[in-house]
Amino acid sequence: MNARPARPGPHAAGAPLGTLFDALLATEPDLPSLVQDGDVLTYGGWWRESALAASALAERGVRPKDIVALLLPSGRAFAVWYLAVLRLGAVVSAVNPRLGPTEIDHVLARSRPVLTVTDAPDRVPCGSVLDSRGPSPGGTPSVEGAFEADGGHPAVIVWTTGTTGLPKGAWFDHGALRFIGGNLGPLSAPYDRKLMPVPFAHSGYVTRVYEQVAHRSALVLTPPVWSARSMLDVLERERVTLGQGVPTQWEKLVMLDELDEADLSSLRLIATGASRVPAALVSRLRERIGCQVVVRYASTEVPLAFGTRLDDPADVVASTVGRPLGGAEVQIRSPLGESLPAGSVGRVHLRSRAMMRGYWKDPERTAETIGPDGWLASSDLGSLDADGNLTIVGRADDAYLRGGYNVYPSEVEAALAAHPEVARVAVVGTPVPVIGEIGVAFAVLRKPEAATAEDLKSWCRGRIADYKVPDEVVFVADLPVNATFKVDVARLREEAARIAGGAPPRA
CATH classification of the domain holding 427? 3.30.300.30
Residue 499: count other Cβ atoms within 10 Å of its Cβ: 18
Q: Quick check: is 254 in a domain?
A: no
Residue 300: count other Cβ atoms within 10 Å of its Cβ: 19
Residue 422 to residue 375: CA distance in whole angstroms: 39
Check which CATH number belongs to the domain holding 163 and give it.
3.40.50.12780
CB 375, CB 351: distance < 8 Å: yes
Q: Quick check: is 378 in a domain?
A: no
Lowest mean pLDDT among 90-94, 465-469, 485-489: 485-489
Q: Quick check: is 130 in a domain?
A: yes
C-alpha Rg value of the chain to the nearest Å: 23
Q: Quick check: is 297 in a domain?
A: no
pLDDT of residue 476: 94
Q: Quick check: is 321 in a domain?
A: no
Residue 339 has pLDDT above 50, yes or no: yes
**Residue of 169, 163, 173 whose CA lies nearest to 65:** 173
Q: Which residues pair with 429 in a beta bridge?
A: 439
How many Cα atoms within 13 Å fall on the side-chain side of residue 98? 18
Domain enclosing residue 416, as ranges: 400-500
Last residue in a domain, options 183, 201, 222: 183
Q: Which amino acid is at 490?
A: A
Tally of structural domains, the chain:
2
Last residue in a domain, options 150, 183, 216: 183
Query: For residue range 274-326, what is the model confidence (pLDDT) as tens digits?
Result: 666 777 788 888 888 888 899 998 889 999 999 999 988 878 887 889 999 99
pLDDT band at 10 (very low <50, low <70, confident <90, very high): very low
Query: For residue range 107-139, what is the model confidence (pLDDT) as tens digits?
Result: 999 999 999 999 999 999 888 999 998 767 777
pLDDT of residue 483: 64
Residues 6+ apart with CB under 8 A from 251: 278, 281, 423, 424
Quote the pTM value.
Answer: 0.83
Angle at 292 between CA 415 and CA 322, to 5 degrees: 60
pLDDT of residue 3: 45
Residue 35 to residue 40: CA distance in whole angstroms: 5
> What are residue 293's phi and psi, to 5 degrees?
-130, 130
**Residue of 360, 405, 400, 406 whose CA lies nearest to 489:** 400
Residue 283 to residues 22, 233, 293: CA-CA distances in angstroms? 43, 22, 9
> What are residue 341's phi and psi, to 5 degrees?
-75, 170
Last residue in a domain, options 183, 212, 237: 183
Q: Quick check: is 148 in a domain?
A: yes
Residue 481 to residue 48: CA distance in whole angstroms: 37
**Residue of 187, 184, 177 whose CA lies nearest to 94:** 177
Q: Quick check: is 61 in a domain?
A: yes
Q: Quick check: is 172 in a domain?
A: yes
Instruction: Using CA atoms of 292, 484, 330, 153 in order, give the dihedral in degrees to the nearest 10.
Output: 110
pLDDT band at 240 (very low <50, low <70, confident <90, very high): very high
CB 217, CB 193: distance < 8 Å: yes
pLDDT of residue 187: 93
